[in-house]
Homo-oligomer: A and B are copies of this chain.
């Protein structure tokens, strides 16, 4: 058993690099990477780091040399034999050979492309540009590196004993959440917390806590390395980057309006069952569902990732009913800003009406709120997004204007094309 406090105290960062494997990333990245590799392998995209919590001045907290060291380390990683064997031979979502031999041959040789790093206004501008299937692999490790380096900067000022008490408190806090979740009947929950985790060791501990405390209610982790090491299900489907890039590439408004469905049409060809999960909020859930083709209503479920989660689920239920589908056969995956209370509420409200499942992120793997002076270890809202494709800016609207991104003019055009009206502002916690 790892004594995290001691490991942290030892400051032997070389034995604990932040990202220690190419598959220390979310499973949906690998699925999307394969889809992109198949459908849009030569598209040039740009990913950029965006810190929504501007009060956390990362460039003042994190040493640039250390940041470069960690990023360079990630560029040195390639798929190990054991990792390749796992990806080729393991069953994912009940299916063998989820990853095709052609994709695996390519993935075995892949290295992460170069990065651009600059400081501006107390923040780091970190940008990745290149072929989509390669560049997209930067998102999760880049976030994990920034998040953990900020934590390490705070931890390095703490004494050995303070560290032990810190982790004792964090463990107690997390375990109390797990104990509360035990009482949620029919719970199905997965770890989605890689990108904003406190650290790799901590995420690994959190996964063990969930496993020990929740048994079969804990259905797996989005983190492939942890899933592999601990023999768990790797969980995930697809994310906003697919419709965002497809949309940016669309020529004219008609093609733009069709783009989000083109994404899912490609996905429909590649996957079935529990991998057919709609992520409807990129350009507004209401409009997306209203204009969706009928074959989409036949999909297994929906993931609610912004806006009021209960409203999002109600919208989905009404939509399925309108399309003659039985919502009780459908899966609703909640994955936005979850903590125990919201999980309890959503579970109570929707169990029996739909199949409910949770992807629990930041407040599972990084709830260090209140544990350090000045709350210096509280998680913050850091994202790494596809901001351009073939030189054209991407746009995201989401069901919460606080999560919208893109140039103003383009946002207005997208709103018009997708018929998005007034939106309710919700605080972005993490």
Contacts and interface: CB of A to CB of B under 8 A. Distances in A.
Interface of A: 1, 3, 5-6, 9, 159-162, 164-165, 167-169, 171-172, 175, 208-209, 212
Given A167-B168, A172-B169, A172-B172, A162 B212 contact: yes
A162 B165 CA distance: 17
Given A167-B168, A169-B175, 6 more contacts: A1-B160, A3-B6, A162-B212, A165-B209, A168-B168, A168-B175
- The A contact surface, by secondary structure, is helix
A251 B336 CA distance: 82
Contacts of A160: 1
Contacts of A212: 159, 161-162
Contacts of A172: 165, 168-169, 172
Contacts of A175: 165, 168-169
A167 B168 CA distance: 8
Contact of A208 (B1, B6, B161, B169): B161
A66 B409 CA distance: 78
A205 to B, nearest CB: 8
A160 B211 CA distance: 13
Contacts of A5: 1
Contacts of A162: 212
Contacts of A3: 1, 3, 6
A164 B171 contact: yes
A7 to B, nearest CB: 10
Contacts of A164: 1, 171
A194 to B, nearest CB: 21
Contact of A1 (B1, B6, B209): B6
Contact of A161 (B159, B165, B168, B209): B209
21 contacts: A1-B5, A1-B6, A1-B9, A3-B3, A3-B6, A159-B212, A161-B208, A161-B209, A161-B212, A164-B171, A165-B171, A165-B172, A165-B175, A165-B209, A168-B168, A168-B169, A168-B171, A168-B172, A168-B175, A169-B172, A172-B172
